[in-house]
Amino acid sequence: MTLNRRSLHGSLAAALVLSALGGCAYGPKPAPADTVPPPPTVASAPAPVEQAAPAVVVTPENLLAQGVKEYQAAQYQQAELDLKSALQMGLAQPADVASANKHLAFIFCTSKREAQCLAAFKAARAADPKFALTKAEAGHPMWGPVYKRSLSKKK
């Protein structure tokens, strides 16, 4: 197959066009680094300010809730501290005072501090005359008998 001069030039021209178009299929080529304008400068931008976490207000009710959670998580020492603190700070609702004392009674009874357990049950009843353990709680082998004694009128 022989190519004449005209078809040779036409073939070369077509090859150049296809080569140039082939680069367009992948998007425009980035401009050389020396032609990119530098980013605008900012005089003196303030450093980002970290926002402090909002302060948590410690209330007797917060301590009661925390103490109950700790009790449920078997963190009895911390639960005892938080429940006592809630009582010392002054819980507003009689039911809350009773709940704090009930959980303290459970802790005292399970750690063989029977006198404190009895006193805590009596304090719960004194704070809220409607205070009573559930049937399941009252049947517990460690604090059930102490709770039943706390209900008697004898002191």
105: closest CA among 94, 97, 96, 116? 116
pLDDT, one tens digit per residue, over 5-38 is 444 444 444 444 445 555 444 555 655 655 666 6
Q: What confidence category does residue 43 fall into, taking pLDDT thresholds of 50, 70 and 90?
A: low
d(CA 120, CA 115): 9
Token readout for 77 is 């020492």
DSSP state of 26: T
Are 119 and 92 in contact, with CB atoms under 8 Å apart? no
Question: What pLDDT was estimated at residue 45?
Answer: 59
Q: CA separation (Å) from 150 to 98, 119, 124, 146, 147? A: 13, 8, 10, 6, 5
Sign of CA dihedral 95, 101, 107, 110: negative
pLDDT, one tens digit per residue, over 85-142 is 999 999 999 999 999 999 999 999 999 999 999 999 999 999 999 999 999 999 999 9
Q: What confidence category does residue 51 fall into, taking pLDDT thresholds of 50, 70 and 90?
A: confident
Question: Which helix (H) or strand (E) is 13 found in, with range?
Answer: helix 5-24
Question: What domains appear along the chain, each with residue ranges and CATH number?
Answer: 60-151 (1.25.40)
Token readout for 47 is 């450093």
End-to-end CA distance of the chain: 124
Count Cβ neighbours within 10 Å for each residue of 15-35 and write b for 16 or more, e otherwise. eeeeeeeeeeeeeeeeeeeee
